[in-house]
């Protein structure tokens, strides 16, 4: 860093250069280093990223704070954990170490659940392995009349989910520590209109190949269920969920595109009507199984 009070443009150049050299960051898009540098400088300044002025002078104490953020990011720590919050479907959600950080790609899963539930008179949604509750909160926010449940085996995730629901004033969102569906109230059997799940779908032997910013900062149990193909929990939920669904209810999984066909096959074997939904780039992200009737 420059010893004198530097300008925004200079600090952004320093940040981009440092982050581009990091081998702990997954540079899957060319613009990632630039965007992360902008987000972190905006965080240090307490302004929105689009409000940065390249010619503005940055106080030395803010520049030091920015340097600290850059070093954390260069070591692989996700920007979301440095910020402490993420924006998801118009909501602000707290994040914390030890709980999976929500991804923007999961908004498609939430949207698919909302679309399926809008057509139903009785609206009950259950998000399994809810983590910080991005999907559960998004569904509860979009459908205030719905009864929404988030389930997770990790008490820390459930505590964070409840805090995020309170933060966004979502009184229709409820959370329980649960091994799959074990904690779901029995009265909901046959009443659920939509199950959602972003499963830990990385195959056991593939975890070590993940980028440092993922395997070093996300809990292992949120990345893999320990099965050889990463579909152990998917198989379990495909087996259990139909007994809880109303006729015409849906089971929705967010998975990597390469797992779409295996998940579709599991659903068809369970006699579910299968469709898929793609993101704006045409990449299949959500596999939908509908209970007949």
User: If you write DSSP's letter for every residue of 142-182 in order, what string do you get?
Assistant: H-TTSEEEEEES-HHHHHHHHHHHHHTT-TTEEEEE-STTT
Span 97-127, pLDDT tens digits: 999 999 999 999 999 999 999 988 889 999 9
Query: Residue 1's pLDDT band (boundaries 50, 70, 90)?
Result: very low
Give one word for 119, left, alpha or beta, with left for phi > 0 and alpha for psi -120 to 50: alpha
Span 131-143, pLDDT tens digits: 999 999 999 999 9
pTM: 0.93
Please tell me the distance from the alpha carbon of residue 237 to that of residue 249, in angstroms, as a whole number.
14
For the chain, state the CA radius of gyration: 21
Span 13-30, pLDDT tens digits: 999 999 999 999 999 888
- Helix residue ranges per DSSP H, 4-133: 8-21, 32-45, 60-74, 79-83, 107-118
Question: What is the pLDDT of the chain when averaged over all its residues?
Answer: 95
Please tell me the distance from the alpha carbon of residue 216 to that of residue 225, in angstroms, as a whole number.
17
Q: Could you tell me which residues come within 8 angstroms of residue 1 by beta carbon, excluding any fewer than 6 positions away?
A: 11, 14, 63, 64, 67
Query: Residue 4's pLDDT band (boundaries 50, 70, 90)?
Result: low
Give one word for 231, left, alpha or beta, with left for phi > 0 and alpha for psi -120 to 50: alpha
Look up residue 232 and give its two tokens: 């152990």
Span 34-72, pLDDT tens digits: 999 999 999 999 999 999 999 999 999 999 999 999 999
Nearest to 249 by CA among 146, 123, 108, 107: 123
Q: Are 264 and 276 in contact (CB under 8 A)?
A: yes
Please tell me the distance from the alpha carbon of residue 124 to that of residue 145, in angstroms, as a whole number.
9
Look up residue 235 and give its two tokens: 């198989």
Tell me the average pLDDT across 184-191: 97
């Amino acid at each position: 860093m420059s010893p004198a009070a530097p300008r925004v443009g200079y600090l952004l150049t320093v940040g981009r250069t440092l982050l581009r050299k990091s081998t702990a960051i997954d540079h899957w898009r060319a613009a990632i280093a630039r965007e992360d540098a902008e987000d972190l400088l905006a965080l240090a300044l307490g302004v929105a990223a689009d409000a940065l002025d390249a010619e503005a002078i940055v106080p030395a104490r803010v520049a030091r704070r920015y340097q600290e953020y850059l070093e954390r990011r260069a070591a692989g720590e996700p920007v979301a954990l440095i910020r402490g919050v993420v924006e998801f479907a118009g909501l602000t959600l707290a994040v914390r170490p030890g709980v999976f950080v929500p991804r923007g790609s999961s908004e498609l899963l939430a949207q698919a659940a909302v679309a399926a539930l809008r057509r139903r008179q009785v609206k009950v949604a259950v998000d399994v392995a809810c983590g910080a509750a991005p999907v559960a909160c998004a569904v509860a926010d979009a459908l205030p009349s719905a009864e929404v449940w988030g389930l997770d085996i990790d008490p820390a995730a459930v505590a964070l989910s409840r805090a995020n629901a309170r933060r966004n004033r979502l009184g229709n969102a409820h959370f329980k520590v649960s091994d799959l569906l074990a904690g779901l109230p029995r009265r909901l059997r046959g009443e659920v209109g939509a199950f959602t799940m972003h499963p830990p779908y990385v195959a056991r032997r593939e975890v070590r190949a993940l980028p440092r910013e993922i395997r070093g900062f996300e809990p292992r149990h949120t990345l893999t269920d320990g099965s050889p193909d990463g579909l152990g929990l998917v198989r379990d939920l495909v087996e259990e969920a139909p007994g809880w669904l109303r006729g015409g209810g849906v089971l929705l999984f967010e998975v990597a595109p390469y797992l779409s066909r295996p998940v579709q096959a599991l659903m068809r074997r369970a006699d579910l009507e299968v469709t898929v939904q793609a993101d704006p780039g045409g990449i299949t992200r959500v596999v939908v199984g509908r209970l007949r009737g």
